[in-house]
Amino acid sequence: MSDIQGPRRYIAGDRIHVELDLEHRTNLGRVFVAFTNETDPLTEFYFEVAPLPEDQQAGDAKTSRIVLETTVPPETVPGVYTLNRVNVFSVGGRLARLREEDLSEIPVRSFEVVEEPAETPTVSGLRFVG
């Protein structure tokens, strides 16, 4: 794992919120992001968005913050998932593929999905309202 403090942990039903900063010259049409399970490389976790980013223009280059969100489905295989590819589709249809070697400099690029706790919930309060 490349993460200094360890990856952020999620369980089924948790919402994962990721922000991806892209520097680009084309107008973005769609962004597809894949995280691969470190112990089972055939298992991946996907995000996809057709962005309407706020571009910060500097000459011909643009910087866009892409917001990716999803809920962890109950069938997700537990384990550490690491960013291994980003596919960027321009409005004109061009595809740019960023692979693991292009993404290795990102300091925090993993998260972990863990099993749901087996503990029974406890009642911590009761109120009659109205």
Query: Is pLDDT at 1 greater than 70 in this prediction?
Result: no
Q: Which domains does the chain have, with CATH numbers?
A: 8-113 (2.60.40)
Could you read off the pLDDT of 71-125 as tens digits, one per residue? 999 999 999 999 999 999 998 999 999 998 888 888 889 999 999 999 999 999 9
Rounded distance, CA 22 to CA 55, Å?
A: 10
Q: How many CB atoms lie within 10 A of CB 84?
A: 19
Using pLDDT thresholds of 50, 70 and 90, give the confidence band for residue 56. Answer: low
Query: Is pLDDT at 24 greater than 80 in this prediction?
Result: yes
